[in-house]
């Protein structure tokens, strides 16, 4: 407090008809916030609010004397800032999706109803996902572990490098067990499971067989 009270200070007259130094008489003194525009107003719709906001920004907020710069924001923008703006984006900004996704037994995660492969050592773990209009990025432990092009709902993006090369036998044992489980509900169900897994990378189809078994459990093998 000693340093504060020591000054030096310059006192200015304040009262009706006076203005702080550097501020035009009658100027607005104090912070101006977006809430000042909305307070006490009643708008017919979004278009009405947008139109009136433009008038308020140009005619009031932009013409006040700024409490820090002691200049009119609209004048500063026109004379200095407008020329520095980058061109407006050609495409509409797409808000990214942020999610947590578990790496399933088939080495894939599901993001917005599409499947993406993840390195096999992360099987069973949870990754953080950021998905925008172009890319899907997966992070684990704060590090980027995989990037895929964004797929539409129902799509799939599999990088063979994510799938086990030296553990094919283990994966195939899982497939054999799945087929045996399906066949236990009937020969036709077992055959259908085999055909679902008849693929160059059969473990990427395991999810479909799990769904088949889920239908059997829900509706019964007879149906």
Query: Looking at residue 218, what is its pLDDT?
Result: 87
Global confidence as pTM: 0.49
- What distance in Å separates the CA atoms of residue 34 and residue 29, rounded to the nearest whole number? 15
- The answer to whether 127 and 109 have CB atoms below 8 angstroms apart is yes
Using one digit for the tens of pLDDT, what is the confidence trace for 67-89?
888 999 889 988 999 999 999 88
Coil/strand/helix, residue 99: strand
Average pLDDT (57-64) is: 84
Higher pLDDT, 5 or 153: 153
Q: In the block, which residue shows the tokens 């509706």?
A: 219
- What distance in Å separates the CA atoms of residue 132 and residue 17, rounded to the nearest whole number? 55
Residue 11 has pLDDT above 60, yes or no: no
Bridge-based pairing of strands 126-131 and 135-140 is antiparallel
């Amino acid at each position: 407090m000693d340093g504060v009270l020591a000054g030096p200070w310059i006192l200015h007259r304040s009262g009706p008809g006076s203005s702080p130094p550097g501020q035009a008489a009658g100027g607005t003194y104090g912070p101006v916030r977006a809430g000042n525009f909305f307070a006490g107003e009643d708008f017919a719709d979004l278009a009405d609010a947008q139109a009136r906001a433009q008038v308020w920004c140009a005619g009031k907020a932009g013409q006040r004397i700024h409490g820090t710069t002691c200049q009119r924001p609209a004048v500063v923008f026109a004379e200095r800032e407008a020329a520095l703006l980058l061109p407006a984006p050609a495409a509409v900004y797409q808000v990214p999706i942020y999610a947590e996704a578990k790496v399933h037994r088939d080495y894939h995660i599901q993001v917005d109803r599409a499947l993406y492969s993840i390195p096999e050592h992360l099987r069973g773990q949870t990754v953080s996902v950021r998905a925008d209009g172009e890319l899907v990025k997966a992070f684990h432990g704060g590090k980027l572990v995989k990037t895929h092009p964004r797929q539409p709902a129902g799509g799939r993006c599999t990088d063979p490098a994510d799938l086990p090369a030296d553990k094919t036998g283990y994966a195939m044992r899982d497939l054999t067990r799945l087929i045996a489980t399906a066949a236990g509900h009937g020969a036709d169900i077992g055959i259908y499971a085999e055909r679902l897994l008849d693929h160059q990378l059969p473990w990427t189809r395991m999810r479909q067989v799990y769904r088949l078994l889920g239908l059997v459990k829900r509706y019964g093998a007879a149906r």
